[in-house]
Structure 1
Amino acid sequence: MKLQLHVWGPAFNLPSIEAQSIPPSPPTGELPALQNGSVWVSRFRNIVDYLRKYSNGEWDLDRDLTDAGQADNTAFSSFIESRGQALIDLSLYVSSQNYNGNTSPAYGALLQWPNQWIFPPKLHSAAKARTEHLGLSSLDLQAMEEERQRKQSAAVATGQIPKNFIQSPRETVSGLLGRTAQQNHFRIDALTGEFFEPLEAMLGKKSYLLAANETDSPASLDCIALGYLSLSHIPDLTQPWLHESMRAKAPLLSAYTERMRLRCFGQAPVEVAHAFEPLSAPPSSLPWRAPGRLSVAAVGSTLLATLADSTPFLRDIRMNNRLKQEAESEDSELNPIERNALSMFADASKKDMYVSIATVVAGTAALVGYMLHAGLISVTTQSEEEEEDEDFEMFNPGQAGDFLGSLGDTGIF
């Protein structure tokens, strides 16, 4: 059986809309995922290691690296994954204009129902959570407007703003863009410089990042770099600040990204049709295979999982289970101490959650028991309800008219 690499699918003229991410289908729960029969391997570094072992070293891109080169390969791979992911999160997801105008429609063209409605908002929220510490949430204009409305509502509720004054015109989009551009310019400039400039200096005029001479071949570092740099350089976005920053700060890195893209993905742009209709679509340099239709069971499982993730109690259970699986996974990149700590944390969190639930249930039961004992609430039996119904049926409506007429005679009405 041939090896199969499962990815999100084409977008922005690239083979995948994500450098690395966590979406729906593979047993590993992550993409990219390599399948070899019943064996599944996810995450870039794990896939590289598996291919090296599977080919007995023949497919090892790092076999010619010195010890120092191996160390640089590991260090800069981690650097690219951490810093590059943050910038892509900000560019494709946190930025409202790019997410609504480019990223969300791209996912809509890739995913089948109901995933096209479920996963983009989840990825959007995850990206915002990952980048919250960077202080650039103002890129999300929708969140800014919602926060403004919440503050205004709170001010009205506390009497700080008279209700007559809350009908003032909303701030225009152009006004928000102008203000947020000024607020974000220096922070974005610093973040992009911290990412692009070290790689630009490392590359220099070499063909590849770790190359010692012109005859050297690309290493695995060049592959992970292409994944993140191409999503920074290639997409034509509504707000192309990441692309513009890369061109300005790292012209050699921009040329390197374009050169690697052509070598790995071919001259022609990668289209969505290549993945869904590989036989009838224009020729592609990549060996695409059309995805299968989602079964009814898969759709039902997706909907149930979404419902569970929206329910606080079930969401916590699923999160703890995922942490436990990560700690026990053979493909985990954690060392034994970290895996043991993560497993203990998952177990402790699950116990705390069960204790909290038991406390709430016991407290509710005690409250209801006290209210019954004090007579604050009563339990009506079926026979009592029947008697009340009989009394109501025996009531003569004419008596009500006579009663109201007598009140009128007394001058009350």
Structure 2
Amino acid sequence: MVLELHVWGPAFSLPSIEAQCLATIAYFSLAVPQDAWVLVASSDPSVSPTSELPALRNGSTWVSRFRNIVDYLRQYSNGEWDLDSGLNGSERADNIAFSSFVESRAHALVDLSLYVTSQNYYNTTSPAYGSILQWPNQWILPPKIHGAAKARTEHLGLSSLDLQAIEDQRQREHSAAVAAGQIPKNFIRRPRDTVSGLLGKKSQQNQFRLEAITDDLFEPLEEMLGEKMYLLTRDSAGPSSLDCLALGYLSLALVPDLPYAWLRDAMKSKAPRLTVYTERLRQQCFDAAVEVSHAVAPSANTTSSHLPWRAPEQARLTTIGSTLFNAFADSVPILKDVRAQDRLRVAAESSDSGLSQEDSKKLSTFAHTQKKDILVNIAYAAGGLAALVGYMAYEGFFSSEGFDDDELEDEPITEFEPETMQAQNFLFG
């Protein structure tokens, strides 16, 4: 049976716009025979039961995430498709440690470069998503991905890269001042800032932070690579899974032609050997530059790419309806919280969650408890509202008796009773 590898589609002349997908494609191209798998740029996480890409399908079995897919291939092939089979004990330990290091450090930098830096996101990244997504995902998914990347990197203190957010905040402050009828001098509209201008403020504090986080990634990898062709192994042993993972992230740092290419510039200046390594490994795994047409219409581009592309299926009406419903449900506050707890529970109970049995059970119990609390609060609120409506109905708030217009017109006007006149004289003298 041919394996199906579902990924985010091509961008920036790379076979995918996402680092984990690129790492998985690199691993397949090096370890799996070409006639044993197909590459599908579905660009839709909903195709996988875990709602994640990359996702490997083998009949009714689905496996997601790079490391889980690598482990599955090792078991499925009885070790034949294992790039790490030649590693010794210390090299295997280094493989695990540096894989975690690359994922944590490089993921944040790619987020900052492609998504948080507004010049890059709105001019390059967002249009790239638009070219690989079908309707209505092209309007729904990019804002979610953009927001998630900003949330993941918020702790780094580099929000000044997001010029659009700064401009939106300035517009809100300006509108508030106009509404109040007073416009202080510091709210008067000024020319739009540039990223380099913002980074140069406050004694170049933001620039120093960028320098620090790029040093944290590139310097250890440059030292680890040394004069070798690969990060862990010598030339004759070939690349390992760590090389595939590093390629996924480093290629997104080096290859994209961005309006503000600060990450590529940092990589070229701080890690020249790592730059050559990334370009060489990219050619080895992905061959020629990849276009969107290679993934969408592979039959017309058979000589343009050696990757075994298979055209993705067109979205069905049921899929479109489900996508629209999910988008609506995730925008309703209470319903969004309930669905979030359901997704957390499913992820915790998944066999490829990477959690121990005890941690998986604790997280699943926590998600179930949180959902139960939300539903109990909803029930209390609904019960209180029902009681209020019942009380109002019992007291006659919804009755129309005594308010008939015809009866009011026929009712004669009577003179004030003496008691009423006395009360008026007391109140008004």
Task: Report the Cα distance in structure 2 between the residues aligned to 1:19 and 1:101, rounded to whole angstroms.
Answer: 20
What secondary structure is seen at the aligned counterpart in 2 of 1:378?
coil
Q: Which residue of 2 aligns with 1:277?
A: 297
Distance 1:369 1:115, change over 3 A: same
Deviation at 1:101, TM superposition (A): 0.3
Instruction: Trace 1:121-132 onto structure 2 (pairs within 5 A).
Output: 121-132=143-154
Deviation at 1:28, TM superposition (A): 2.8
Q: Which residue of 2 aligns with 1:144?
A: 166
Q: Which residue of 2 aligns with 1:65?
A: 87
Instruction: Choose which of 398, 404, 416 in structure 2 pairs with 1:379.
Output: 398
What secondary structure is seen at the aligned counterpart in 1 of 2:67?
helix
Q: Which residue of 1 aligns with 2:279?
A: 258
Q: Normalising by the residue count of structure 2, what TM-score does the alignment of the two structures yield?
A: 0.83
Instruction: Find out whether 1:293 has 2:314 as its counterpart.
Output: yes
What secondary structure is seen at the aligned counterpart in 1 of 2:239?
coil
Instruction: Find out whether 1:246 has 2:263 as its counterpart.
Output: no
Deviation at 1:354, TM superposition (A): 1.9
Deviation at 1:179, TM superposition (A): 2.1
- Moved beyond 6 Å, runs of 4+: 369-373, 391-394
What secondary structure is seen at the aligned counterpart in 2 of 1:126?
helix
Q: Which residue of 1 aligns with 2:60?
A: 38
Query: % of aligned pairs identical?
Result: 57
Structure with larger RCO (C-alpha < 8 A, sep 6+): 2
Deviation at 1:23, TM superposition (A): 3.1
Distance 1:13 1:176, change over 3 A: closer
Distance 1:393 1:247, change over 3 A: farther
Deviations 1:161-213 (A, max 9, x none): x52558964232245651245442111111111011111111111000001x3
Task: Report the Cα distance in structure 1 between the residues aligned to 2:206 and 2:14, rounded to whole angstroms.
Answer: 28
Task: Report the Cα distance in structure 2 between the residues aligned to 1:133 and 1:319, rounded to whole angstroms.
Answer: 22
What secondary structure is seen at the aligned counterpart in 2 of 1:163?
coil
Deviation at 1:279, TM superposition (A): 1.2
Deviation at 1:248, TM superposition (A): 0.9
Instruction: Trace 1:260-339 onto structure 2 (pairs within 5 A).
Output: 260-266=281-287, 268-281=288-301, 283-339=304-360
Q: Which residue of 1 aligns with 2:32?
A: none
Task: Report the Cα distance in structure 2 between the residues aligned to 1:165 and 1:72, rounded to whole angstroms.
Answer: 58
Deviation at 1:50, TM superposition (A): 0.7
Q: Which residue of 2 aligns with 1:10?
A: 10
1:23–1:119 contact (8 Å) kept in structure 2 = no
- Count, aligned residues: 385
Letter in 1 for 2:207: H
Instruction: Choose which of 137, 145, 148 in structure 2 pairs with 1:115.
Output: 137
Deviation at 1:365, TM superposition (A): 4.8
Letter in 1 for 2:93: A
Task: Report the Cα distance in structure 1 between the residues aligned to 2:295 and 2:211, rounded to whole angstroms.
Answer: 36
Deviation at 1:392, TM superposition (A): 9.1
2:160–2:198 contact (8 Å) kept in structure 1 = no
Identify unmatched segments of 5+ residues in structure 2: 22-43, 411-429
Deviations 1:74-131 (A, max 9, x none): 1111111111111111111111111100010000000110011110001001111111
Deviation at 1:362, TM superposition (A): 4.2
Q: Which residue of 2 aligns with 1:172?
A: 191
Deviations 1:206-256 (A, max 9, x none): 000001x33121110001111011001100011100111111111111110
Task: Report the Cα distance in structure 2 between the residues aligned to 1:164 and 1:34, rounded to whole angstroms.
Answer: 57
Distance 1:148 1:366, change over 3 A: farther
1:136–1:184 contact (8 Å) kept in structure 2 = yes
Deviation at 1:327, TM superposition (A): 1.5
Instruction: Choose which of 179, 184, 191 in structure 1 pairs with 2:213.
Output: 191
Q: Normalising by the residue count of structure 1, what TM-score does the alignment of the two structures yield?
A: 0.87
What secondary structure is seen at the aligned counterpart in 2 of 1:34?
strand
Letter in 1 for 2:361: N
Q: Which residue of 1 aligns with 2:382?
A: 361
Task: Report the Cα distance in structure 2 between the residues aligned to 1:218 and 1:9, rounded to whole angstroms.
Answer: 24
What secondary structure is seen at the aligned counterpart in 1 of 2:313?
coil
1:192–1:245 contact (8 Å) kept in structure 2 = yes
Identify unmatched segments of 5+ residues in structure 1: 395-413
Q: Which moved more, 1:230-239 or 1:329-338?
A: 329-338
Task: Report the Cα distance in structure 1 between the residues aligned to 2:324 and 2:341, rounded to whole angstroms.
Answer: 20
2:111–2:149 contact (8 Å) kept in structure 1 = yes
Q: Which residue of 1 aligns with 2:30?
A: none
Deviation at 1:153, TM superposition (A): 5.3
Task: Report the Cα distance in structure 2 between the residues aligned to 1:238 and 1:171, rounded to whole angstroms.
Answer: 22
Q: Which residue of 1 aligns with 2:248?
A: 227
Distance 1:278 1:363, change over 3 A: same
Task: Report the Cα distance in structure 1 between the residues aligned to 2:186 and 2:74, rounded to whole angstroms.
Answer: 65
Distance 1:391 1:285, change over 3 A: farther
Letter in 2 for 1:106: A
Deviations 1:312-364 (A, max 9, x none): 11111111111111111111111122212211210121122123223333444
